[in-house]
Amino acid sequence: MVTAAKQLDQSRLHHLVGYAATRASVELKKTFVKHLGPLNLKAIEFSILVMVTANERVNQKQLSRALDVSAPNMAITLDRMVERGWVERVRSTEDRRAQIINLTPAGAALTQKAEKIASKMEASATRVLSEAERLLLIELLHKVARGHGAGAGAGLS
C-alpha cells in the first residue's frame, strides 16, 4: 500500500532569508532548465553571453569578477563556449596579456533567442507576485548581493 509522503515541518527554517532564497532559487533553476535547456545553454553561459553582448571589449578577468566565478572555472566555461562556436577570444591590442571575448554570429543569434525566452520564462514562477512585488524582490535581492561583503563578520563571534 502506497501512502502519501508526510509533509515535513519546515517552520524552524522559514524565518531564514537564505532558506527562502534557496527554495526560490530551486524553483527558478527548474524554470530556467525547462525554458532554456532546449537551447543546450547553462545559466552561467547565458549570463556570459548577455554580458558580452552588453559590454564591448570585455575580458575573461572582468567576467570572472562580475559573475563571481573563479578564473579556472571561467576559462573552462569559455573554452566550452568557443568549442560550440558562440564566442571567440581575441588578443587585446591595449594589453597583450588580456583576451577580449567577442560573440560570434552564432553566439549573437543564440543570445537574441535566449533573451527573448528569458524575458517571459520567469512569468510562471513569479505569477504569485504582482509586478510591483516582482520588481521589489529583484531590487531587494540585488541589495543583499551588493551588501554581502560590507561589515562581514559583524556581530559574529
Contact present, 73 and 30 (Cβ < 8 Å):
no
Give the domain ranges of the chain.
Answer: 40-120
Ranges of beta strands (E only) in 8-141 are 87-91, 99-103
Distance of CA 6 to CAs 2, 14, 15, 76, Å?
12, 18, 22, 42
Residue 77 phi, psi (nearest 5): -65, -45
Q: Which residues pair with 59 in a beta bridge?
A: 100
Q: Does the predicted TM-score (pTM) go above 0.85? A: no
Q: Which CATH number fits domain 40-120: 1.10.10.10, 2.40.50.1070, 1.20.140.10, 1.20.1050.10?
A: 1.10.10.10
Number of residues that make up the chain: 157
Q: pLDDT by residue for the chain (157 residues), tens digit each?
A: 555 678 999 999 999 999 999 999 999 999 999 999 999 999 999 999 999 999 999 999 999 999 999 999 999 999 999 999 999 999 888 888 888 999 999 999 999 999 999 988 988 888 999 999 999 999 999 999 888 655 444 443 3
